């Protein structure tokens, strides 16, 4: 290989300017604390003062929608529209932005505009979506900061459908853009694109054993391989993959069929050429390509010579019209396997009528066979999917309604509760997956708050019981999809009340007592508010006993959700299987406990210093699950002291391994065991970055700082889902 730098003059180059020179590559097992500090304010060109919600309110949404509809048929010479209509391309862009969402950890999805950055901008399944975003650029340029890329991508998909005849269910803004690639999302362990699927399965004959939290079956795909499992057509086997991946997307069988059919009612696949000769992906393309990738050097390079998936053809007779043509073709013809010009497996009809063939997207007066993917064939080969498909075929209006709702769910699932929705097109109907919480009709004065604190602290519950119940109620929050949290008090409902991590017996004791207090009040304060207030009052008291007189602010306004508002099956995905903050593991996992702590911390939106101070504080408060003493490095349990850090960093002690996740802290002189600890405790002394934070909090002059920082971090967790306080 030629060295492009050979013969050039050397120059001082002291900075690591390429990713392969990461200084931490020498220590690959070091905790990646960077995931806690990504999307730092320094990266945001709009600055700290910019408020997207306020900017969106100034948006002329109707004008924007009209401009998008105009764009659909404004074919550009540099990338001509299929049949003169960009609808199929824009829908695929929106679909693939939203379709990365997985319900297990809430990551992925359209909420951040992450499709603009690696790895998603260069995924094999996203071939030529770079062109879709460039076609959108004039619109984004015109409306500027009033519409984020994340919102614009989804709205473009909506307008594409509307321009082709579908009545969509609605649209909500509120997605704020990120400004560099996401570093926290685990997309799989593969080191090559589209590696065989066995890499992702505990047992690849059991298609339900797909590695959590993944939803796609191969690295670089959104869902399933359109040619079949590992590129081998078998609709019944593909059906298993479809069912699993859509389940990981929080979709049921009916929604799955609707989305598959509705996504393929319009547009086409592109494979009229040799995929092997395409240029580099956008992230690897030459500088003069200006961020465009997959350049085709043959023929026109676009239009009829476009190569994307490798399959070639439209699914329906009229690919720019919303109709029931997908089911018409699927049910009225026999289908046989063929190879596309690019060599990809696809299904084509036998003896199709000429009038049922779609017109060529670019060549006048030419008709082509329609095609189906292996996933499409699954819609009639799998008995459950077939029954649903038949129902949709017989009732086109019902199909349109189910699809519109499923499309709305697909594109809004990770946006969070309706309180985060922006714009005039937000549907009035409350949907079960939106985790609705009823509004409260009361406010509390400072005097009333203080009175409630006294009642809670003197009701017979211990401070630890109050703190643990507040923490368990709040810790489910995920900043990935804005689900969970304390608001709604769903911790008193199934399935949360029975989660092992919530210590059901202790939790029920606390809930019973708080319910008694609620019943005694002249003003019916919500259980959700009382839970958080009880924990905060206990923290406040513990701080005072440490010699720091501090008030823990409280903001009322949480409501109490009902069983009818709660999709219990969906909430099961939020069950904690570990909590490093309470030093608990449900089982012994392959992943180290400190890595699990990091994952949870990132989802909660906490920084590394906040994680550090919270763990140290929670230990001395005695909040461990089950009352264990691991990491409780203090003789003053229940006092919000900095003792955890003082003793962790004290060289009078050494650390003796007992088992995989148990250590004794031993006095160096006497050999006596002073304390016990887990990996989650010791990582704050072993990891160089975390130790630096621990040393700050161990200092004699930072005892008060420790308490104040703990309270700030505690409040951040308690109020993480209070979107009303952030608007």
- Report, as residue numbers or ranges, the catalytic residues: 96
**What is residue 722's three-state secondary structure?**
coil
**Can you tell me which residue has the tokens 């080969």?**
381
Q: Which residues contact 383 (CB under 8 A, 6 or more apart)?
A: none
Could you tell me what percentage of the chain is helix, strand and coil, using 3-state DSSP and rounding each to the nearest 5?
45, 5, 45
Contact assessment for residue 667 and residue 621, using Cβ atoms and an 8 Å cutoff: no
- 574-579 long-range contacts, CB within 8 A, separation 24+: 574/476, 574/478, 574/483, 574/484, 574/496, 575/495, 575/496, 575/499, 575/501, 576/475, 576/476, 576/499, 576/501, 576/502, 576/600, 577/501, 578/501, 579/475, 579/501, 579/625
- Crossing angle for the helix pair 396-412 and 253-263, nearest 10 degrees? 100
Give how far Cα 43 sits from Cα of 25, 46, 725, 726, Å.
Answer: 23, 9, 24, 21
Instruction: For 348-404, give the DSSP string.
Output: EESS--GGGSPBPSSSTT-B----B-HHHHHHHHSHHHHHHHHHHHH-HHHHHHHHH
Query: What's the CA dihedral at 209, 211, 216, 217 to 10 degrees?
Result: -60
Give the separation between CA 181 and CA 39, rounded to whole angstroms.
9
Please, what sign has the CA dihedral across residues 471, 474, 478, 484?
Answer: positive
Q: What is the DSSP letter of 336?
A: E
- 552-555 long-range contacts, CB within 8 A, separation 24+: 552/711, 552/714, 552/715, 553/715, 554/444, 554/449, 555/719, 555/722, 555/725
Contact assessment for residue 491 and residue 561, using Cβ atoms and an 8 Å cutoff: no
Give the separation between CA 134 and CA 643, rounded to whole angstroms.
56
Give the separation between CA 507 and CA 470, rounded to whole angstroms.
10
- Nearest CA to 302 among 139, 93, 75? 75
- Which helix (H) or strand (E) is 54 found in, with range? helix 52-57
666-681: b (≥16 Cβ within 10 Å) or e? beeeeeeeebbbbbbb
Contact assessment for residue 546 and residue 640, using Cβ atoms and an 8 Å cutoff: yes
Give the separation between CA 504 and CA 500, rounded to whole angstroms.
7
Contact assessment for residue 362 and residue 80, using Cβ atoms and an 8 Å cutoff: yes
Instruction: For 225-274, give the DSSP string.
Output: -TTSBTTB--HHHHHHHHHHHHHHTT--HHHHHHHHHHHTSS-EE-BSS-
End-to-end CA distance of the chain: 55
- Nearest CA to 373 among 346, 344, 348, 350? 346
Give the separation between CA 573 and CA 490, rounded to whole angstroms.
14
- Nearest CA to 490 among 607, 574, 364, 406? 574
Backbone torsions φ then ψ of 557, nearest 5 degrees: 130, 0
């Amino acid at each position: 290989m030629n060295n492009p730098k050979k013969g050039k003059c050397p120059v001082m180059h002291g900075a690591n300017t390429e990713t392969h020179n990461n200084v931490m590559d020498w220590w690959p097992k070091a905790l990646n604390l960077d995931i806690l500090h990504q999307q730092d304010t320094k990266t945001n060109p709009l600055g700290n003062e910019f408020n997207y919600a306020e900017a969106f309110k100034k948006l002329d949404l109707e004008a924007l929608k009209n401009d998008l509809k105009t764009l659909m048929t404004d074919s550009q010479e540099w990338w001509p529209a299929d049949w003169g209509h960009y609808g199929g391309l824009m829908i695929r862009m929106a679909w693939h932005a939203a379709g990365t969402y997985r319900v297990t950890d809430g990551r992925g999805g359209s909420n951040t505009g992450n499709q603009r950055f690696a790895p998603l901008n260069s995924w094999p399944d996203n071939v030529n979506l770079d062109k879709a975003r460039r076609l959108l650029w004039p619109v984004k340029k015109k409306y500027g900061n009033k519409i984020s890329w994340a919102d614009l991508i989804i709205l473009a998909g909506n307008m594409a459908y509307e321009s082709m005849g579908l009545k969509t269910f609605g649209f909500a803004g509120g997605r704020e853009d990120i400004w560099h690639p996401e570093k926290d999302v685990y997309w799989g362990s593969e080191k090559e694109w589209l590696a065989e699927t066995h890499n992702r399965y505990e047992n690849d004959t059991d298609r339900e054993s797909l590695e959590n939290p993944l939803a796609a079956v191969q690295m670089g795909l959104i869902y399933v391989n359109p040619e079949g499992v590992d590129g081998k057509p078998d609709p019944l086997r593909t059906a298993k993959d479809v069912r699993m991946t859509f389940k990981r997307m929080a979709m049921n069988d009916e929604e799955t069929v609707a989305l598959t059919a509705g996504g393929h009612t319009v547009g086409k696949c592109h494979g009229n050429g040799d995929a092997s000769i395409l240029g580099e992906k956008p992230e690897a393309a030459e500088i003069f390509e200006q961020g465009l990738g997959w350049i085709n050097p043959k023929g026109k390079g676009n239009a009829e010579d476009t190569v994307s998936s490798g399959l070639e053809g439209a699914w329906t007779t009229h690919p720019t019209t919303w109709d029931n043509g997908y089911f018409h073709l699927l049910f009225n013809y026999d289908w046989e396997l063929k190879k596309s010009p690019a060599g990809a497996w696809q299904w084509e009809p036998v003896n199709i009528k000429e009038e049922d063939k779609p017109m060529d997207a670019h060549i006048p007066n030419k008709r082509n066979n329609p095609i189906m993917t292996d996933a499409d064939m699954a819609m009639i080969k799998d008995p459950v999917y077939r029954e649903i498909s038949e129902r949709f075929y017989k009732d086109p209006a019902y199909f349109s309604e189910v699809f519109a709702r499923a499309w709305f769910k697909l594109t809004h699932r990770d946006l969070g509760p309706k309180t985060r929705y922006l714009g005039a097109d937000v549907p009035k109907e409350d949907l079960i997956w939106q985790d609705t919480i009823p509004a409260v009709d009361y406010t509390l004065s400072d005097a009333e708050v203080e009175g409630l604190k006294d009642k809670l602290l003197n009701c017979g519950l211990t401070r630890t019981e109050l703190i643990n119940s507040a923490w368990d109620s709040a810790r489910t929050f995920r900043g990935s999809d804005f689900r969970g949290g304390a608001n709604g008090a769903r911790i008193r409902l199934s399935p949360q009340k029975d989660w092992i991590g919530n210590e059901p017996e202790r939790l029920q004791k606390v809930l019973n007592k708080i319910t008694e207090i609620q019943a005694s009040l002249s003003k019916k304060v919500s259980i959700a508010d009382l839970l958080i207030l009880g924990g905060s009052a206990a923290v406040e008291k513990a701080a005072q006993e440490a010699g720091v007189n501090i008030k823990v602010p409280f903001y009322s306004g949480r409501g109490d959700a009902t069983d009818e508002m709660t999709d219990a099956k969906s909430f099961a995905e939020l069950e904690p299987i570990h909590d490093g903050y309470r030093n608990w593991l449900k089982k012994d996992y392959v992943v180290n406990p400190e890595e699990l702590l990091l994952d949870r911390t990132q989802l909660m939106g906490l920084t590394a210093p906040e994680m550090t101070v919270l763990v140290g504080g929670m230990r001395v408060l005695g909040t461990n699950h089950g009352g264990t003493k691991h990491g409780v490095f203090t003789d003053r349990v229940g006092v919000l002291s900095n003792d955890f850090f003082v003793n962790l960093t004290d060289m009078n002690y050494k650390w003796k391994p007992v088992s995989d996740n148990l250590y004794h802290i031993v006095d160096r002189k006497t050999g006596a065991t002073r304390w016990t600890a887990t990996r989650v405790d010791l990582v704050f002394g072993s990891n160089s970055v975390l130790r630096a934070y621990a040393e700050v909090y161990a200092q004699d002059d930072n005892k008060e700082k420790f308490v104040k920082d703990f309270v700030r971090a505690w409040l951040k967790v308690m109020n993480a889902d209070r979107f009303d306080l952030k608007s």
